[in-house]
Structure 1
Amino acid sequence: MNNKKQQAHALIGLALVGGLMATGVAQAGGFMTPTANTAGWGRAFGGGSMFKDDPSSAFNNPAAMAFIDKTISQFTINYADINIKYKGSAYDYSGRPMSETTLDENFSPVYHDRTGDGGQGGFEAWVPTGFMVIPINDRFSFGLSQVVPMGARTTWDPDWKGRDFAVDTRIETVGLTASLSFKVNDQFSVGGGAILQHTKGFVSQNVDLYAAAAQSPALGGIPFPAGLGYSLMRVKVDNNSLGWFAGVAWKPTEFDTLGLNYHAKIKNKLEGKYNIYADPGSEALMTTPVIDGKTLVEIAYPGLHLYPGGANASTQLDIPANASIDWVHQFSDRLTLGTSVTWTQWSSFKALTLKSDGNTIVSIPYNYKNTWMYSLGGDYKLTDDFTVRAGVAFDQTPTRNSTRDPRIPDGDRTFASLGFGYKIRAIPGLSIDGAYSRQFVETVNLKTKNVDRLGGGSLDGKSEAKGEVVSMSATYEF
């Protein structure tokens, strides 16, 4: 390949990945998202990027790019439909069913039970990705990609019974990557790359200030009524961060390809602002001095200052390290199968801590556990131009029963996928792929107690979830 063609292909690749900066979420365990292309979704991720001429290797395992002998660009669009429902009860800090509270003519609290479960906590989203692999010479290949490595979204009714645990949660990350592979010989290659990613987060929930005050030892356990008024806190943060990844690929026989890849943990400190939208009574708790120039909130929680008009906010939300082993075996000219095992170091995610100007507003424990994902899938060529795919996968949840909440009410999930690929003869080099994947998510318990600063309420119920992903891609070989 001459230099002018290489430069042209590189420019096309940069334009491809640069034009995909809109993002959504296709949910997997925790807040990680799959980075497969359409063919990978059709195989339920079995074999990773070890199948022949798979441009998603530019991110998933850059070593495999060394065995691609032509420039390949690919654009993928995924549509995700995730459905989440809560069924159960919610209680305030005193064990009373969650309620709205008003005051009667004698200024005594009157409780009104809230019975709504909150409706549907799921979402719909569009997720674009792009990959490009450019062989430089017989030894080196260069790759570009745009991926969505992290994301989660849940949206509950603002007045649902669990509003003190979650209302809106959105975590979205877009990453641009560059990678390089080196072919050691015809059987072995190595590769590595870097990712520049932009993460933005938005969360909101009610903060029951009266109930929080009642939990404070500093106030001697004064039984303030829960559910009196409202204080909706909204937090919006973002950050740019850098990470790296690497892999090796080995062809022990002409029919087998093995791969090992590692994506390092990415430290990700998000910064932005919080706002609180409160009724006059709740706002007075945050702004009106009552003793020694301190507000009731400051007395209840020394060092905690809340500003309804907004203030700086920051939180640490790292992307955990993960590693995969992939194996692809070609049984015949028509049948190829692949299997994968992926480990994710979720134990690095201990808590979601929100700070403002160095002071902790709230710290919500999660204590995630490390997980494994197992995948099996493959291709069958019906004709030289038409291929069908299928696969299954099992993905463990990192969440624990004791700390699982409505933000990410995650359970173990099973993927069942179907797909196809078609080469368009009228346009040499162009092919299209389609896939459908159904997620069967375990029904999990949501039996958890909120931290005192958020009112000390509790949930006793279950979360039911399911998901569907439809994926389409166009691939062009130069």
Structure 2
Amino acid sequence: MKKVMLKTTFSLAVAVASTQIFASGFALNEQSVSGMGTGFAGRSSSAEDASTVFGNPAGMSRLKREQVSIGAAAIVAKSDISGSGTFGGSNDGDMVPVVAVPMGYYVKPIDDHWAFGFGVYVPFGLVTDYESGFAGRYFGDDSEVQVVTLQPTISYAFNDKVSIGFGPTINRIDGKLESATLNPVTPGTNDGRVKIKGDDTAIGFNVGVLVQATDSTRMGLTYHSKVKYKLEGDTKITGTGFGPFSGNKFDASLDIDTPESVDFSVTHELNADWTLYAGSTWTRWSRLEAITVNNEGVPPQLGGSAGPIGIINEEQNWHDTWAHAIGAAYKLNKEWTLRTGLAIDQAPTNNENRSPRIPTGDRTVFSVGAGWSPNDDVTVDLAYTYLWEEDVNVNDASPTKGAYDAKYENSAHGFGTSVTYRF
């Protein structure tokens, strides 16, 4: 069968957030509610509960009791869009549904040196679902990707100063991409649609080191590996412009890597009441240069440049990013701990290749949170985060799609809660 390359923006991510996710690109930060309260400033050095399985597996050595943490974060995003497309349409801006990001962790100390843990979390994610008749519909109007990660983990403490941790990650990705296609007979009316679906399971790893530099200062370093996926599924086309091929499905595949990242942070206990946090994260987003969906058996009249689908080459050309955060926690009394944090996060996109699937810019994130421990066995954590982005422009044009020019003003609210129970 003939093989045709259809290049399109399958802007990867996971079932959860969207263009307003709380980390750069399509990464998600919501793997810990206690960390959410401090803007994730001490993610690799705090090791306050079982969520350290993700933040720094070496931190399990600090947890002296068996414990389980279960939680979720909800994201409420808002976009104001002003712009237009060649063939008309609307810009309502409500393309991000309210979504939830679940998480769960378990840690069991084995002896003075070894500990075992297990985590279930969502490291990347995207959901964008524009209204029917969206002005940029030919460049993407529905994108959903879900990555769920399972991580069995071990840690080893050499002494009371230095520990290490490691865990393989088992990552399941499911993705869906939809776009409108221009009717060659009556452009702008009776649009067709292309829907691409695929999934894969791949292996990565998470490794970290934790150092108690002084009695009051800890330093942590965590490396999350890249994960290489080959999604396999199908491409389905519908619409009057496709003639006898309308409703047909073609085998499809997509090769993509989620990027590696390095997180370094410091936790300093200023006194019995105050704890300070600072951290930086580097992410290798430059791996995302373009997205290529390979379709098997697509007829030439659907794959040629004059066909209803056309051959689309949408480059991404993302760049590596840095995120920086500072935070603080105040122990109000035996039961309550109050938290706050501020983060600055670069966007990997550029002005030339930014698309309506991820129309994101550099963001600033402010966080507050609280931990309530009614007794030594239970802690309930709460967090609230507000994110605002710089205004960004999307300027897309194609012979088979027309043009879409728009300005996006993005913001989001995040709410998180978790419960930790110690046995």
> TM-score, normalising length from structure 1?
0.79
- Say whether 1:134 aligns with 2:134: no
Equivalent residue for 1:387? 337
Residue in structure 1 matching 2:235, options 267, 271, 274: 274
What is the CA-CA distance between 1:228 and the residue it aligns to? 5.0
CA distance in 2, matches of 1:474, 1:135: 19
CA distance in 1, matches of 2:57, 2:413: 29
* Aligned sequence identity (%): 30
Secondary structure at the aligned position of 1:347 is classed as: helix
Which stretch of structure 1 is more off in the superposition, 145-154 or 48-57? Answer: 48-57
Secondary structure at the aligned position of 1:464 is classed as: strand
CA distance in 2, matches of 1:388, 1:440: 23
CA distance in 2, matches of 1:407, 1:444: 13
CA distance in 2, matches of 1:307, 1:33: 37
Equivalent residue for 1:172? 146
Equivalent residue for 1:258? 219
Secondary structure at the aligned position of 1:365 is classed as: coil
Alignment of 1:224-243 (within 5 A): 226-243=187-204
Contact 2:49 2:69 (8 Å CA) reproduced: no
CA distance in 2, matches of 1:89, 1:23: 28
Structure 1 unpaired stretches of 5+: 1-21, 92-97, 99-113, 211-223, 288-305
Residue in structure 1 matching 2:90, options 116, 133, 158: 116
Secondary structure at the aligned position of 2:188 is classed as: coil
Which stretch of structure 1 is more off in the superposition, 117-126 or 363-372? Answer: 117-126
What is the CA-CA distance between 1:226 and the residue it aligns to? 3.4
Residue in structure 1 matching 2:372, options 422, 430, 433: 422
What is the CA-CA distance between 1:162 and the residue it aligns to? 1.0
CA distance in 1, matches of 2:415, 2:390: 21
Which stretch of structure 1 is more off in the superposition, 438-447 or 356-365? Answer: 356-365
Equivalent residue for 2:124? 150
Which structure shows the higher helix fraction? 1
Equivalent residue for 2:308? none
What is the CA-CA distance between 1:421 and the residue it aligns to? 0.5
Contact 2:31 2:54 (8 Å CA) reproduced: no
Secondary structure at the aligned position of 2:258 is classed as: coil
CA distance in 1, matches of 2:48, 2:406: 47
Equivalent residue for 1:24? 16
Aligned pairs, number = 396
Residue in structure 2 matching 1:89, options 84, 90, 94: 84
Equivalent residue for 1:477? 422
What is the CA-CA distance between 1:77 and the residue it aligns to? 1.2
Question: Amino acid of the residue matched to residue 443 of structure 1?
Answer: D
RMSD of equivalent CA atoms: 1.9
Question: Amino acid of the residue matched to residue 42 of structure 2?
Answer: G
Equivalent residue for 1:39? 34
Residue in structure 1 matching 2:273, options 334, 359, 362: 334
Equivalent residue for 1:442? 390
Secondary structure at the aligned position of 1:154 is classed as: strand
CA distance in 2, matches of 1:135, 1:355: 47
CA distance in 2, matches of 1:322, 1:358: 38
After superposition, the C-alpha distances for 1:170-203 in whole angstroms (9 at most, x for unaligned) are 1111111011111112111111111111111111
- Say whether 1:194 aligns with 2:168: yes
Question: Amino acid of the residue matched to residue 172 of structure 1?
Answer: Q
Contact 2:146 2:175 (8 Å CA) reproduced: yes
What is the CA-CA distance between 1:90 and the residue it aligns to? 1.7
Secondary structure at the aligned position of 1:40 is classed as: helix
CA distance in 1, matches of 2:41, 2:213: 19
- Structure 1 moving runs of 4+ over 3 Å: 358-363
Structure-2 change in CA distance of 1:477 and 1:24 (3 Å): same
After superposition, the C-alpha distances for 1:282-324 in whole angstroms (9 at most, x for unaligned) are 122xx4xxxxxxxxxxxxxxxxxx7641111111232101001
Equivalent residue for 1:321? 260
Equivalent residue for 1:60? 55
The higher radius of gyration belongs to 1
Structure-2 change in CA distance of 1:235 and 1:52 (3 Å): closer
> TM-score, normalising length from structure 2?
0.89
Equivalent residue for 1:110? none
CA distance in 1, matches of 2:73, 2:62: 27
Which structure shows the higher strand fraction? 2
Contact 1:355 1:362 (8 Å CA) reproduced: no
Equivalent residue for 1:101? none
Contact 1:118 1:161 (8 Å CA) reproduced: no
CA distance in 2, matches of 1:194, 1:328: 26
Structure-2 change in CA distance of 1:131 and 1:410 (3 Å): same
Residue in structure 1 matching 2:293, options 339, 354, 370: 354
